[in-house]
């Protein structure tokens, strides 16, 4: 039975419900934690090359060095921005895995295993990386041509005349085209994973072509779908965060009857090692920025008791629970992007991905019917 699509906005409206699946949230959370780990490694390497104290830097930022850093050494800057790039790639691969779940469900396979999804994601890393690299390389080529165009202005006597004559055509046209390509590069962070997940062959050119085609031929529809998915991700993420808070609160309260105050002390000691009083956490557990309507978990940051191995492990577990909130929010966006691409592909090309056969569904072998002998009826 294939996924019942309406091929309109109603399919996008139900994306938060489709994203609320344990395996999708778990896979996205794993990739999100991997992105944070990669970002931390490259950032601390940049600080080390810069000559700053790792100990002091770690005591200030810990595992969440989210701030604006300025480096004096070129190697430090390269390491820091490389960490940003690889962490974004890790998030994109997580969104690809979620989109793969959705695309397979649309094709009729609702029970794609996590192992198959992760294996499929690893096999398509090259496609996504080369797609982004191709777009960036094209932008660098245009930048080189613009640089050469600027050198024309240095020619004595006629340089300024030549620069002025070609300023509108092709100069201005190239500028508009470059800005558009740069915008597509930013958009591809959330759109490209869905496009690549729907591609059966893993061709780099096909993913680039479909990404540009989606933006060029259906820009308004895609923007509206994406805007809704962003708002829905925040609202539904807030609801999910509230249930997470109450679930942890109930678990600690119920366990304290048997474990005593030691359980509550362990959780608070673990929570005190996390930046629960930061603006980022406050934003997560509130509906919207500037709207003081939510829950305050800052009180958990005041832990007591000595830190020990168990408290560090508890801090890690609490962090995983918190990361699952953003894992679900990214699942909503990835699921909506997958459905948006399927809808737009049908409208612009009259091609239904739902008519394709699943990539990972193996049909069970059914033996052909054996004709009964004619004399069996007389026996």
pLDDT in tens, 103-115: 999 988 888 899 9
- Pair 108, 2: CB distance under 8 Å: yes
- Pair 339, 15: CB distance under 8 Å: yes
Residue 370 burial (CB count, 10 A):
6
Q: Do you find a cis peptide bond into 117, omega within 30 degrees of 0?
A: no
Residue 281 burial (CB count, 10 A):
19
Q: Percent helix, strand, coil in the chain (nearest 5)?
A: 75, 0, 25
Look at residue 376 and tell me if it is in a domain: no
Total length of the chain: 379
**278 secondary structure, DSSP code:** S
Distance of CA 135 to CAs 139, 183, 207, 265, Å?
A: 6, 11, 11, 52
**7 secondary structure, DSSP code:** S
**Distance of alpha carbon 334 from alpha carbon 21, whole angstroms:** 13
Look at residue 66 and tell me if it is in a domain: yes
Write the DSSP string, 82-129.
HHHHHHHHHHHHHHHHHHHHHHHHHTT-----HHHHHHHHHHTHHHHH
Residue 198 burial (CB count, 10 A):
22
Model confidence over 182-218: pLDDT tens digits? 999 999 999 999 999 999 888 889 999 999 999 999 9
118-143 in b/e burial notation, b at 16+ Cβ within 10 A?
Answer: bebbeebeebbebbbeebeeeeeebe
Look at residue 371 and tell me if it is in a domain: no
Place of tokens 């056969």: 357
- The DSSP bridge partners found for residue 294 are 286
Please give the model's pTM, rounded to 2 decimal places. Answer: 0.87
- Write out the residue range of the structural domain in which residue 138 sits: 9-354
Position 62 scores a pLDDT of: 75
Look at residue 364 and tell me if it is in a domain: no
Look at residue 309 and tell me if it is in a domain: yes
Look at residue 361 and tell me if it is in a domain: no
**Distance of alpha carbon 12 from alpha carbon 18, whole angstroms:** 10
Position 302 scores a pLDDT of: 64
Looking at the structure of the chain, the number of domains it has is 1
List helix spans (H) across 166-218: 173-198, 204-217
**Distance of alpha carbon 153 from alpha carbon 163, whole angstroms:** 6
CA angle 125, 219, 89 (to 5 degrees): 20
Position 238 scores a pLDDT of: 92
| Torsions phi, psi for 5 (to 5 deg) | -85, 145
Residue 103 burial (CB count, 10 A):
28
Position 379 scores a pLDDT of: 47
**286 secondary structure, DSSP code:** B
Which residues, given as ranges, of the chain have pLDDT below 70? 1-3, 299-307, 362-379
């Amino acid at each position: 039975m294939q996924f019942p699509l309406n091929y309109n906005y109603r399919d996008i409206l139900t994306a938060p419900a489709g994203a609320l699946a344990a395996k999708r949230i778990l896979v996205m959370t794993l990739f999100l934690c991997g992105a944070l780990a990669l970002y931390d490694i490259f950032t601390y390497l940049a600080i080390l090359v810069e000559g700053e104290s790792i100990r002091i830097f770690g005591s200030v930022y810990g595992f969440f060095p989210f701030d604006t850093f300025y480096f004096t050494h070129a190697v430090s800057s390269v390491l820091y921005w490389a960490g940003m790039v690889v962490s974004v790639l890790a998030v994109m691969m997580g969104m690809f895995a979620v989109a793969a779940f959705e695309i397979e469900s649309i094709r009729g396979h609702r029970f794609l295993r996590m192992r198959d999804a992760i294996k499929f994601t690893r096999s398509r890393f090259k496609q996504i990386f080369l797609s982004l690299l191709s777009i960036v390389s094209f932008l660098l080529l245009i930048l080189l041509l613009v640089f050469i165009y600027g050198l024309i202005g240095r020619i004595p006597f006629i340089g300024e005349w030549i620069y002025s004559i070609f300023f509108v055509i092709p100069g201005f046209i190239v500028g508009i085209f470059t800005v558009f390509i740069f915008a597509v590069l930013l958009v591809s962070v959330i759109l490209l994973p869905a496009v690549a997940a729907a591609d059966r062959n893993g061709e780099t050119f096909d993913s680039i072509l479909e990404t540009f085609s989606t933006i060029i031929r259906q820009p308004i529809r895609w923007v509206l779908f994406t805007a809704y998915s962003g708002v829905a991700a925040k609202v539904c993420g807030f609801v999910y965060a509230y249930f997470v808070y109450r679930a942890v609160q109930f678990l600690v309260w119920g366990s304290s009857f048997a474990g005593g105050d030691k359980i509550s002390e362990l959780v608070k000691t673990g929570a005190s090692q996390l930046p629960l009083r930061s603006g980022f956490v406050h934003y997560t557990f509130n509906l919207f920025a500037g709207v003081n309507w939510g829950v305050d978990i800052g009180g958990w940051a005041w832990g007591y008791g000595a830190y020990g191995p168990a408290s560090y492990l508890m801090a890690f577990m609490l962090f995983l629970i918190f990361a699952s909130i953003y894992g679900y929010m990214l699942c909503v966006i990835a699921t909506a992007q997958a459905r948006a691409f399927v809808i737009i592909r049908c409208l612009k090309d009259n091609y239904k991905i739902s008519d394709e056969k699943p990539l990972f569904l193996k049909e069970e072998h059914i033996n052909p019917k054996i004709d009964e002998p004619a004399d069996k009826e007389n026996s």
